[in-house]
Structure 1
Amino acid sequence: MTQPHLIIAAGGTGGHMFPAQALSEAMLRKGWRVTLSTDARGARYVGGFSHAVEIRQVSSATFTRGGPLAKLAVPFRIMGGVFSATLRMMREKPDVVVGFGGYPTIPAMAAARLTGRPRMLHEQNGVLGRVNRIFAKHVAHVACGTWPTDVPLGADAVHTGNPVRAAIVERGSAPYTPPGDWPMSLLVFGGSQGARILSDVVPAAIALLPEELRQHLRIAQQAREEDVARVQEAYDFLGMRVEVDTFLHEMPRRLSEAQLVICRSGASSVADINVVGRPAIYVPLAIAVRDEQTANARGPVEAGAAVLMPEAQFTPETLAQTIAEILSQPEAATQMSIAALSVAVPDATERLVELVESLAPNTTPKG
């Protein structure tokens, strides 16, 4: 039997590349040939992909970068990428093409449509990105990492969840230690765009907590490089035991040990927290164009697993009150943990694999 061929098209951000990497690994294990189609920017993120994945750079561009001349050239660069991808696809006849969003997805998805190849999309966030919205009604399925996801009428939305790392899935069985009169772990992190407001507000909120609660807290907080010193000083002033760094290693362990998490509601963060099953306070990124981070948090918030705190409401006073309410009610905190697990999708990668295989039922080797 001929080795089936999967083309994965993904843009140059971690949000697009991580689930693409998870799918590539699963399909390689099942005996598929896998090609990753991305642009020069995306090629910088391929270090985590297996050497068995063929990396193919295509001509693409985005309207959000560069000056007026660069923006004028965007349609022509994309058209060139589509033309090249179409010729190649006519020769190769891949069994399935999967797009994960971002402008580098356009050439492969357009070529798949022009050549009639089976195709689908994966959307990580609760609101479709621009490129995925363009193709949503022209693919067999839109695999949704967040549920519900806002998709165009006529698109076939399927809830698969967002793939999480194996190390996170392994921690899914770690029991939750409810808050009490013992050391409690508070984990605070935000994306590269979003950590500053956490640096501004969280230490000030901790200072407002009752001493009998604060003395039990052990805090690990991610901060921008320029904010590390002032965040550390704020906690030192309170005489607290904290760890402040630009990058927090061993996140699976940290999540499993946490009594409470405060973070942005990026799709991967929400997926990880749900799989481990931890109470959370989500602070959506206010400048997100489609407000997708609010949509990402909707599931756990409605399930009672998390509290949503928009930036306009994210003040030291409000945060301190919310932290105190969660950490002073062990039974309620435990219920939040259980609720997080109820909306988790630890088998998201397997669900994606099943969708891919359903598009090429006669070509999949036995895995």
Structure 2
Amino acid sequence: MSHASPSAALPTIACAAGGTGGHLFPAEALARELKRRGHPVVLYTERRGAAYTQALAGLDHVVLPARSLEGGLAGKLAAGLTILRATWQARRDMRRRDVRLLVGFGGYPSFAPALAAKSLALPLLLHEQGARLSLANRKLLRFADGVATSFPTTAGLAGIEAARVFDTGNPVRRAILDARGDYPPLADDAPLRLLVVGGSQSARVFGDVVPPALLALPEAVRRRLQLSLQMKGDAVADVERALQAVGVDATVRPFFDDMGARLRDAHLVITRAGATTAADLLTVGRPAIFVPIPHGGSRDEQRRNAEALAAAGAGWCVPEPELTAPHLTALLTDAFASPSMLPDAARAAAALGRPQAAAALADRVVAALHTRG
């Protein structure tokens, strides 16, 4: 936990987020905007979220125990005990800090801080990154004083009046905002920069499919290619050497902590279709090949995100079963050969960006504080 000097002038605000980047990064963006306005801020997360040390640098944060409700009866009982323990810890910390409001960003680790806030009669705002309320936010909806959404239409809001729903957009980190700028030129002899990222949990399919797809590209394209590939596993060094051996300027890493700079320089991104990933891409204005996580259920949200962005012209939706090396080779060959295909998609992406989302959400937080007096 970091320790900053609290301000006596403005009330303390808490954020709670699950341990993935999709939940934590919007919470970080709001926390930094509120802190810029003079509010003391604390962020509640769990051990996975605490691993994002760069995101949490300079922010007060508390790591709470967390456990999913998935599993049989024994698992649910253990999760219930974990939630009770985390709720007690969060409640004690909130009283010590004199927290006046909590903003929950979803993920099961946000559940306990939200319960703690309501037990203290604090206002609770929820932020939903996707086009449908997440499971945690659906469970907390009846306790919420308001819900901020990232899309004009968000499913799952039955039971809350329209006056308490605010379309703020999805806050993005400062590094992403700083990466905004013109799309890089595609001169005949200039590098072609391809960024491949799988999100917080990476994506094995990208490591399996992207390298052979690039090996099959025409040599003239391979020689211009500059690849940044996020890939986990023991084969990272081998894949990097194999690509470099055929002329691809390849950087293969388990994780990139300079995502803003890599997005700024990219001509094309291959990625999952999570809501926070999409917000980053649209803010910077970069086209993407979206490969939504399969399996349906709550994860079907990624399919809807990808299809909506593809329909808007901001990229292409390729379901994971269709992401074969020959298919990807053909798509990349067409994209890099066309003088307009990628720049047009970049313009469409930028038109959908919401760079003021953190400020808009902070405005709603301040308004909620004033409403409660």
**Where on the TM-score scale, by shorter chain, does this alignment land: which range?**
0.7 to 0.9
Aligned to 2:360: 351
Aligned equivalents of 1:313, 1:38: Cα separation in 2? 36
Shift in Å at residue 198 of structure 1?
A: 1.1
* SS at structure 2 position matched to 1:104: helix
Match of 2:260 among 246, 249, 252: 252
Counterpart residue type for residue 190 of structure 1? G
The 8 Å contact of residues 285 and 311 in structure 1, kept in 2 or not, is answered as yes
Following superposition of structure 1 onto structure 2, how do residues 19-168 of structure 1 map, counting pairs within 5 Å?
Answer: 19-39=26-46, 42-45=49-52, 48-49=55-56, 51=58, 53=60, 55-56=61-62, 58=64, 60-64=66-70, 69=74, 71-82=76-87, 94-145=99-150, 148-155=153-160, 156-168=164-176
Summarize deviations over 1:259-317 as a string: whole Å, max 9, x none.
21112223332222212211110111225751232233344322101101110111112
Aligned equivalents of 1:219, 1:39: Cα separation in 2? 33
Aligned to 2:340: 331
Note closer, same or farther for the CA distance 1:232–1:57 as it changes in structure 2 (3 Å cut).
Answer: closer
Aligned equivalents of 1:254, 1:351: Cα separation in 2? 26
Shift in Å at residue 134 of structure 1?
A: 0.7
The 8 Å contact of residues 146 and 267 in structure 1, kept in 2 or not, is answered as no
* SS at structure 2 position matched to 1:117: coil
Aligned equivalents of 2:248, 2:103: Cα separation in 1? 48
Summarize deviations over 1:178-227 as a string: whole Å, max 9, x none.
36443211222223534321121112222333334333322222221313
Aligned to 2:316: 307
* SS at structure 1 position matched to 2:172: coil
Aligned equivalents of 1:61, 1:111: Cα separation in 2? 16
Any unmatched runs of 5+ in structure 2? 1-7
Counterpart residue type for residue 335 of structure 1? D
Aligned Cα RMSD in Å? 3.1
The 8 Å contact of residues 261 and 278 in structure 1, kept in 2 or not, is answered as yes
The 8 Å contact of residues 17 and 105 in structure 2, kept in 1 or not, is answered as yes
* SS at structure 2 position matched to 1:153: coil
Aligned equivalents of 2:286, 2:63: Cα separation in 1? 39
Note closer, same or farther for the CA distance 1:124–1:179 as it changes in structure 2 (3 Å cut).
Answer: farther
Aligned equivalents of 1:224, 1:234: Cα separation in 2? 16
Summarize deviations over 1:148-205 as a string: whole Å, max 9, x none.
4332323454332222222321221233323644321122222353432112111222
Aligned to 2:227: 219
Percent identity over the alignment?
A: 35
* SS at structure 2 position matched to 1:149: coil
The 8 Å contact of residues 86 and 111 in structure 1, kept in 2 or not, is answered as yes
Counterpart residue type for residue 24 of structure 2? M
Aligned to 1:195: 203
Aligned equivalents of 1:93, 1:116: Cα separation in 2? 12
Any unmatched runs of 5+ in structure 1? none
Shift in Å at residue 86 of structure 1?
A: 5.7
Note closer, same or farther for the CA distance 1:320–1:18 as it changes in structure 2 (3 Å cut).
Answer: same
* SS at structure 2 position matched to 1:172: coil
The 8 Å contact of residues 178 and 331 in structure 1, kept in 2 or not, is answered as no
Counterpart residue type for residue 359 of structure 1? A
Counterpart residue type for residue 262 of structure 1? I
Summarize deviations over 1:327-349 as a string: whole Å, max 9, x none.
22222321111001011111121
Counterpart residue type for residue 13 of structure 2? L
* SS at structure 2 position matched to 1:360: helix
The 8 Å contact of residues 187 and 260 in structure 1, kept in 2 or not, is answered as yes
Aligned to 2:3: none
Counterpart residue type for residue 126 of structure 2? L
Shift in Å at residue 356 of structure 1?
A: 0.3
Note closer, same or farther for the CA distance 1:182–1:6 as it changes in structure 2 (3 Å cut).
Answer: closer
- What count of residue pairs does the alignment treat as equivalent? 362
Aligned to 2:4: none
Aligned equivalents of 1:299, 1:213: Cα separation in 2? 30
Aligned to 2:12: 5
Aligned equivalents of 2:339, 2:183: Cα separation in 1? 14
Aligned to 1:171: 179
